Amino acid sequence: MIEAAQRLSDWWGTLTKPGEVLPIRLGAARRAATGSQPTREMGFDQALIWVTVALLSWGLVMVYSASIAMPENPRFANYTHTYFLLRHVLWIGIAFVAALLAFQIPMRTWEKWAPWLFLISIALLVAVLIPHVGKVVYGARRWISLGPLSFQPSELAKFSVLLYAADYMVRKMEVKERFFRAVLPMGVAVGVVGVLLLLEPDMGAFMVIAVIAMSILFLGGVNARMFFLIATVLVSAFALMIASSEWRRERIFAYLDPWSDENALAKGYQLTHSLIAVGRGEIFGVGLGGSVEKLHWLPEAHTDFLLAVIGEEFGLVGVVCIIGLFFWLTRRLMQIGRQAIALDRVFAGLVAQGVGIWMGFQAFINIGVNLGALPTKGLTLPLMSYGGSAILVNLVALAVVLRIDYENRLLMQGGRI
């Protein structure tokens, strides 16, 4: 062992002159000395990609499982058994192409486009409220028809508000201690989006957008007293919205007592059947395709309540795996953001952390609703539930974070962006 170490020392001495400082980029020295190429480090986070692919693939299987029996319902009699599966596959394909294109765009370009994307999302939120432009489903006007497909502007609004908030905090970094010059304009912008969303109505999307904006303000260094003041105002506003709406109050009462005679067949119907599905799954589930609740008992089993079907077919083990994957995804996105900020790339860092908070918070709400821990709210499970607009925007957002990670790695290797 000692002789081997001595031979290695003598060999290195032949490559360097006395007193020469070792180079930082050892790969370049090795290539010059031996003529061989060093192992090339991947320019993106492979683990992040594989976790995303795992969630997409599992979601695709579960969307098919949850929707395969829907044509037996008279309301969906004209649909085939693969109707939702094929549309979901089509949207994933479109989202994959959009994500590849988004990855090619440098972060300085995203920063330049942020205000314009925000204005475009505002215009789309206005357009969806126009009769014969916005599509009404279950009494809510949230979609714009694009031929055989439908696009939901509120999903784009989540991403555009995130970019705009990050850009705004970078521009207002010097005045972030002054409420009226730093926080109030951002609050007005989010308020405009909130009013348009509540007119649809879509309180769930507004809640996610408010949390994204608040989180970026906090991560951007807004004074703690300002932050808690804004948080108090927002919580009070949401409480007032619930108190002033009989329909929303009924949802809260149904959540508090879903098994009562009054709620079990009314506002608590979805929640009770979601709990039945999760209960039937026990530890290891009834097996893929064995769910009973998806057979016209549990409404929206392929969208908002997909996790209940996962709980029934894969049991507690499946639910814990889903929670673990989303926890890892959120943690990794936050790490990429912190790394970017450490490299003095504040906009990129806030965007990455904002995406992490977005994915983590929406997954937390959806899982909590399905397990009866939170009141029923129309939010899908990111990357898994059926919903083309959400899949498209989620993958584009993750592609932007991959771009941030790529640029981080490039800078740390001595390159330029």
- What pLDDT sits at residue 42? 55
- What pLDDT sits at residue 179? 60
Our CA dihedral for 39, 406, 386, 200, rounded to 10 degrees, sits at 180
In which band, very low, low, confident or very high, does the pLDDT at 147 lie, cut at 50, 70 and 90?
confident
Q: Report residue 209 as tokens.
A: 């957008």
- What pLDDT sits at residue 186? 81
Residue 4 confidence (pLDDT) above 60: no
In which band, very low, low, confident or very high, does the pLDDT at 167 lie, cut at 50, 70 and 90?
very high
User: CA 366, CA 387: separation in Å to the nearest integer?
Assistant: 14
User: How much is the average pLDDT of 193-205?
Assistant: 88
In the chain, % of residues over pLDDT 90: 53
Residue 177 confidence (pLDDT) above 80: no
Q: Which of 167-181, 260-274, 335-349 has the highest average model confidence (pLDDT)?
A: 335-349
> pLDDT, tens digit, for every residue of 291-307?
999 988 998 899 999 99
User: How much is the average pLDDT of 261-270?
Assistant: 84
User: CA 185, CA 178: separation in Å to the nearest integer?
Assistant: 11
In which band, very low, low, confident or very high, does the pLDDT at 314 lie, cut at 50, 70 and 90?
very high
Sequence-distant (6+) residues with CB within 8 A of 184 are none
- What pLDDT sits at residue 231? 81
In which band, very low, low, confident or very high, does the pLDDT at 178 lie, cut at 50, 70 and 90?
low
User: How much is the average pLDDT of 313-327?
Assistant: 97
- What pLDDT sits at residue 12? 43
In the chain, % of residues over pLDDT 70: 87
> pLDDT, tens digit, for every residue of 12-30?
444 444 444 333 333 343 3
In which band, very low, low, confident or very high, does the pLDDT at 230 lie, cut at 50, 70 and 90?
confident
Q: Which of 107-116, 171-180, 233-242 has the highest average model confidence (pLDDT)?
A: 107-116
pLDDT top residue among 304 and 173: 304
pTM of the model: 0.86
- What pLDDT sits at residue 196? 92
The two beta strands, 149-151 and 140-146, are antiparallel
Q: In the chain, what are the helix, strand and coil shares in percent, each to the nearest 5?
A: 70, 5, 30
Residue 233 confidence (pLDDT) above 90: no
Residue 406 confidence (pLDDT) above 90: yes
Residue 195 confidence (pLDDT) above 60: yes
How many C-beta neighbours within 10 Å does residue 200 have? Answer: 21
- What pLDDT sits at residue 353? 97
Residue 41 confidence (pLDDT) above 90: no
DSSP string for residues in 327-368: HHHHHHHHHHHHHHHHTT-HHHHHHHHHHHHHHHHHHHHHHH
- What pLDDT sits at residue 10? 52
Sequence-distant (6+) residues with CB within 8 A of 402 are 44, 45, 48, 49, 103
Q: Report residue 244 as tokens.
A: 């002033």
User: How much is the average pLDDT of 34-42?
Assistant: 43
